[in-house]
Structure 1
Amino acid sequence: MTSSLKSSQWLTTGMLRRVHHIALHVQNMDASRQFYGQLLGLRELRGEEVPETLRQQFEVGEVANFVTPDGTIIDLFWKPNLLPPDADPDREFTRAGHLAFDIAPDLFDQAVEILQQNQISIAHGPVRRPTGRGVYFYDPDGFLVEIRCDPE
């Protein structure tokens, strides 16, 4: 933020209510649908649940929408020619760091097992921190995803 902005021009705490949606570009829609819908267990929006502004894209397979347990929508937009600036996902290639999902502490180890059973390559972790535990892995397009839990 530049110093030329006056504090009366800023949004105040509480004006923003929640994250409405997160839009991700994906290269392989089938792999991404399986990753977010089956592996992570997010519910995909169908039929009348799909926002009207996205229905035409949905009908031709160019968008998929998933809802997280807290109601945040993840929109996947199919970009078949998508290439990251760097083919190595271990090098951060976007301004976004990662997408983190919270899980109950007693389910964390089970989640790690499910990732391993599905041959999902673990990028980092599981790690234990004062703030809890986390495991980091990539979605089919190289976007870093975390499953984390609070301390037990």
Structure 2
Amino acid sequence: MLSTSQSSPSLQQGMLRRVHHIALNVKDMQASRYFYGTILGLRELQGEEVPETLKALFEAGEAANFVTPDGTVIDLFWKPHLEPPHPDPDKTFTRTGHLAFDIEPHLFDQAVEVIRQNQIPIDHGPVSRPTGRGIYFYDPDGLLVEIRCDPVL
């Protein structure tokens, strides 16, 4: 059980620098590579860019690595027999809420149109809030993904 005592050891604020990578298990590697690389436009790591620890999996087609513009790496691991608890994403329990990508406000409507034209299942949105706009949709494995932007000032 997690201790909430003030005397518990802890990392100081600022010690963690950034998210290094996010690892996702995917059922269909081809569909996921297309989704993250082509539809979302993330750059796939190739050759010497692939981490040494993942080269064998990469060469076997069991891993793919994408990098976001801020340098966060998204690792995809092929797990073809891994089934979600429920095939309906609305009824699937996961400890992951969603993966969110930020976009410039003037590009938001274009992103929404790309999602629609590719017939990506939309959970909800676009929504407008005081914090900006967002649209929520599903990747090929049912992970909820958001594209959001800051409000136009």
TM-score of the aligned structures, taking structure 1 as reference length: 0.96
CA contact (8 A) 2:85 2:92 kept: no
TM-fit CA distance, 1:83: 0.7
Post-superposition CA distance 1:67-113 (Å, at most 9, x none): 00000000000000011112110134210100000000000000000
Within 1, Cα distance between the matches of 2:124 and 2:149?
A: 15
Q: 1:70 matched to which residue of 2?
A: 70
Aligned residue in 2 for 1:31? 31
1:109 corresponds to which residue?
A: 109
Give the letter for the 2:7 counterpart: K
Mapped partners of 2:6, 2:84: distance in 1: 34
> How far apart are residue 6 of structure 1 and its match?
2.4
State the alpha-carbon separation in 1 of the partners of residues 92 and 143 from structure 2: 9
Matches within 5 A, 1:64-103: 64-103=64-103
**Residue segments in structure 2 that go unaligned for 5+ positions in a row:** none
Shift of 1:126: 0.3
Aligned residues: CA RMSD:
1.1
Distance 1:143 1:31 in 2: 13
Equivalence for 2:3: 2
Residues 3 and 125 (structure 1 numbering): CA distance in 2 closer, same or farther, change over 3 Å? Answer: same
Measure the CA separation in 1 of the matches of 2:96 and 2:79.
Answer: 18
Give the corresponding residue for 1:145: 145
- Aligned-pair identity in percent equals 73
User: TM (normalized to structure 2)?
Assistant: 0.96
Q: Which moved more, 1:85-94 or 1:49-58?
A: 85-94
| Aligned residues between the structures | 151
The one-letter amino acid paired with 1:27 is K
Tell me which moved more, 31-40 or 77-86: 77-86
Counterpart in 2 of 1:40? 40
Deviation digits for residues 111-131 of structure 1 (CA, Å, limit 9, x no counterpart)? 000111111121110000010
Shift of 1:27: 0.1
